[in-house]
A and B are shown apart, each in its own frame.
Chain A
């Protein structure tokens, strides 16, 4: 006797939709944020090693961290292609005085006129990818002494500070505008509250990146010495806040399986 599966719906989910659980969000994070996923795989063990929670001279662990680091760096040329084209599009829109649909959190879009700051912010993203490519080439194909790249490293830090400060500024304005929700009631109020928490996570990620950028600038241009633990801790903060932001935004949302 053939038994149909149609209508077998024990958790209230239809055949092609499901509420995202932790496993779903983790798998989606690896697929959609590959670079961040690989970064987490070497930054978090790196912090644990600096805190002496993990051995520093374990060949297998070091090999794993190297694999994740170089895997992430190998994506840098492609990230540069993406960033250059994004900058080109934004620049073209700015020259024409057009509007652009900026991607916001929670699937929202902000359609507004493109400003010069948007162009410079997008262009600053190219510097980070160029730095990653240099690191990638230095570690693989080309022998470049690290000392000769000191200035470029500092510029990379400055670009990081600038880009993330712009994002932080825009997100702070969004957060302030969204915080006027006293008149809302019930589910609408809950939704708004969740969105505001999401923006807080995003802002925390951006602040950690700014801190990292400042440390890079200080060490590259002003010879300020930071302990490896300090760099590891701030890098880990960027990773942790990024993961928290992603899980907060996606956990429990509906997933279309088609």
Chain B
């Protein structure tokens, strides 16, 4: 008996799985690619922290970080376009969401601008010197703002879904909504990790000029960064799975 007897069997074996396709879509997107690079940098940082091939890990992390920052340059240009779109909507509608959407697009643009500025410094295009503090502050303040907005949005969404689930009779649809609620809470956790990281970074920057400053153990920041990365990947792929389950529902969208 041969498992490769028919072409269709071989085709089924060659065909990428749903998860593999999701991974492809994720890394194809510039933001996804950036987060994946961040994941590799994080692994090297942990290796360095734990003293496992420390020299190699330090070198790898130091070389990958400026490359990841370079991706902020096209990100900044794209964010400018998105900000312009949100400004257009803000000027043409009375929707309350339009103001929040515009503010978040400004924050994304600022974040990318600050990272691009740091990229220029890393590659020796110019020296930021004192400007580095401003760039880092802009970066972490924007990240903190974005995830504070996301924190409340996801909580609100979870509450809304919680109310909706009571009126859904079908158990399959109910199940999908329950997964959506869990997805919202995972997003809340992710936002909490970013808010914590930005709070630490901003506190360090604010008190950097003091004699003692505020010293945080690198392990704390590294752990938070790892938690954020794990939650970023989890929420993305969990969201994709929920989309597929929802598409397969016999009664349509949950």
Contact = CB atoms under 8 A, between A and B. Distances in A.
Interface of A: 4-6, 8-9, 13-16, 18, 23-24, 26-28, 30-32, 34, 37-38, 41, 59-61, 63-64, 66-68, 70-71, 73-75, 77-78, 81-82, 85, 88-89, 91-93, 95-97, 140-141, 255, 257
Contacts of B91: 5, 8
Contacts of B24: 81-82, 85
A75 B126 CA distance: 24
Contacts of A92: 11-12, 14-15
Contacts of A9: 92
A168 B18 CA distance: 32
Contact of A27 (B8, B82, B123): B82
Contacts of A96: 7-8, 11
A96 B12 CA distance: 9
Interface of B: 7-8, 10-12, 14-16, 20-21, 23-24, 27-28, 30, 32-33, 36-37, 56, 59-60, 63-64, 66-68, 70-71, 73-75, 77-78, 80-82, 84-86, 88-94, 119-120, 122-126
Contacts of A30: 73-75, 77-78, 81
Contact of A28 (B10, B11, B81): B81
A105 to B, nearest CB: 20
Contacts of A93: 11
A6 to B, nearest CB: 6
Contact of B70 (A27, A71, A85, A88): A71
Given A89-B15, A89-B16, A41 B123 contact: no
A71 B74 CA distance: 10
A68 B82 contact: no
Contact of B37 (A74, A97, A141): A74
Contacts of B81: 23-24, 26-28, 30-31
Contacts of B119: 67
A15 B75 CA distance: 24
A91 B14 contact: yes
A96 B13 CA distance: 12
A15 B92 contact: yes
A34 B15 CA distance: 27
Contacts of A81: 23-24, 27-28
A77 B81 CA distance: 27
Contacts of A91: 11, 14
A34 B60 contact: no
Contacts of A14: 92
**Pairs of residues from A and B, 7 with the lowest C-beta to C-beta distance, nearest first:** A27-B81, A31-B78, A71-B70, A30-B77, A15-B92, A78-B27, A95-B11
A239 to B, nearest CB: 14
A67 B123 contact: yes
A41 B85 contact: no
A76 B130 CA distance: 34
A37 B77 contact: yes
30 contacts: A4-B94, A6-B92, A13-B88, A13-B92, A18-B85, A18-B88, A30-B75, A38-B74, A59-B124, A61-B125, A63-B125, A68-B70, A73-B67, A74-B67, A74-B70, A78-B27, A78-B32, A78-B33, A78-B36, A81-B27, A82-B27, A88-B15, A88-B16, A89-B15, A89-B16, A92-B15, A95-B8, A96-B7, A141-B60, A257-B86
A27 B80 contact: yes
A27 to B, nearest CB: 2
A64 B116 CA distance: 11
